[in-house]
Amino acid sequence: MEKRVLVPVADGTEEMEAVVVVDLLRRAGIPVVVAGESPVVVCSRGLRILPDELLEELPEDEEFAAIVLPGGSRGTEALSRNEHLKHLLQAQQRRNGYIAAICAAPTILARHQLIPPDTPLTSHPSVAPQLSAYPYRVEPVVVADRIVTSRGAGTAIAFALELVRILRGDTAAAEVAQSIVLP
């Protein structure tokens, strides 16, 4: 069975950053599980998401193709405090699996020391000071080994397509971009 991509969500998650990633990965045929801290997650702009599974019920030994963290300041803070997610991320890092974070979510990786010291990254400008220990970039998407970071809602499509490219290749990413009429 193909490994799934985990997209955890919590109240306050930025909906575009979660939904765009889930949508484009699924268009590429990549299995995605949206795991919520609760059965109904209220995102930053009031959109309600019904997660596929509860985050706490995911087995800690499940191997994911990638764990993708959406941003949103309140959602990021909630996910950052979630010990089960911390253990999932640590296991993903030990397996040398992909970890991706957009907007404020790279701070979760920094907080839990999941980013090697010389790893370049990006984030939403508002949290850049919290990431001053790392080589900071302003590109829309930064890929450094198995860590993928992006800036925010406006870069969500580029971020998701880069994840498709990494997991399924250039052709799949081009096909998804064409299917959504991306210029």
pLDDT digits (tens, 9 = 90+) for 38-91: 999 999 999 999 999 999 999 999 999 999 999 999 999 999 999 999 999 999
Does residue 179 form part of some domain?
Answer: no
Query: 150 burial class (0-12, 13-18, 19+ CB within 10 angstroms)?
Result: buried
Give the domain CATH number at 46.
3.40.50.880
Look at residue 19 and tell me if it is in a domain: yes
Average pLDDT of the residues in 23-36: 98
If one counts the domains in the chain, the total is 1
CA within 13 Å, CB half, 138: 2
**Is 182 part of a structural domain of the chain?**
no
- Residue 108 pLDDT exceeds 80: yes
Q: What are 44-56's pLDDT values in tens digits?
A: 999 999 999 999 9
Residue 145 lies in a domain: yes
Do the domain assignments include residue 178? Answer: no
Please report whether residue 167 resides in a domain.
yes
- Expressed as residue numbers, the domain containing 162 is 5-173
Backbone torsions φ then ψ of 156, nearest 5 degrees: -60, -40
Name the residues annotated as catalytic.
103
Query: What's the pTM value of the predicted model, to 2 decimals?
Result: 0.98
